[in-house]
Amino acid sequence: MPADLARWARGGRPGPYALLADRHDGTVVRCGNTAAKAHAGDSDRDALAHRVRIAGAGALAGVLLPPLRTGSVHGRLASLWPYGVPVDPERPGDAPWEAAGRLLAALHSTPLDALPGPVPPMRGPAKLARALRGLSRTYPAHAPAGSAPEAAAVRAAARTLPAWTRGEAAPPPGGVLCHGDLHLGQLVRHPAPEGPWLLIDVDDLGLGDPAWDLARPAAWYAAGILDAVAWPRFLGAYRDAGGPAAGPPGCDPWPQLDAAARALTVQTAARALVKAATGRRGLDEVERLMVDACDRMASLPADLESAGPS
């Protein structure tokens, strides 16, 4: 697949390429100043192609990296993009938290009538549902009591979530354009290497609750993974740029962020347990913190479940 994807990116010509990712949810190669992605084979191809078209809308210039073209490789939707320089994982102090907050605020404020429509739903809840199904396959719920206490804690935490976050009910009415899978790996500088930061990866883009896009950093902060300097940098930049998901500066953001942050905690912990079991290894420090957070969520009284960090 990678070699064929690179050949497609080069207009049918063979040539050198660098493999950037090869997972169940997509294969990505770099060919010079472009990057090509073969999207997941089980994707809704029509909805995904529409998400790629949305990324090229003029209303999103300066927010989302625009696509160059789309096609098909081995029956999977393929998309070609300008290559952008990603966040350097070896320099966490340089993480562009303010840029991430400003870009999300702009994304969430984009008028829907300025986009090619109709806008499909954001896929965040569907991804949580998928993570829970994977957990159930790896750690069946009918296993003997006590045989998988960590998986039981994650499932118990999932039961405290609103049904819509698990993809089991309609989401709240309304909604804005959301990224659906925000983390620092979804930002690149373009033009490389010193251009402005832009958001990439539109596989989960769509209409939904904007709190979902703030939920992963919020969950990391609540679990003690994201420090007390990075979180206010991110949240403050989002609020200052007019983002609608966390209230105005000075107010408590957690009433709006709580459900989505707990949902992303459960999703991350479920995936961590599956990866650890597949790799026949123990949880690393970050994975352990997310599973421990689920354990705390499952033990909270119902009237305290929506309380954020103090």
- pLDDT tens string 190-220: 998 889 999 999 999 999 999 999 999 999 9
Domain ranges of the chain: 1-83, 85-304
pLDDT for 78:
95
Could you give the strand order of the β-sheet that contains 69-73, starting from the edge strand earlier in sequence? 18-23, 26-31, 34-39, 76-82, 69-73
Please, which pLDDT band fits residue 114 given cuts at 50, 70 and 90?
very high
pLDDT for 146:
55
How far apart, in Å, are the Cα atoms of 229 and each of 93, 103, 221, 225?
10, 19, 10, 12
Q: Which fold has domain 85-304?
A: Aminoglycoside 3'-phosphotransferase; Chain: A, domain 2 (3.90.1200)
How far apart, in Å, are the Cα atoms of 99 and each of 64, 186, 237, 258?
12, 12, 8, 23
Residue with tokens 């840029």: 99
pLDDT for 305:
43
pLDDT for 148:
85
pLDDT for 144:
61
Q: What is the mean pLDDT of residues 161-170?
A: 94
pLDDT for 301:
59
Averaged pLDDT score across all residues of the chain: 91
Higher pLDDT, 304 or 257: 257
Please, which pLDDT band fits residue 143 given cuts at 50, 70 and 90?
low
Q: Which fold has domain 1-83?
A: Phosphorylase Kinase; domain 1 (3.30.200)
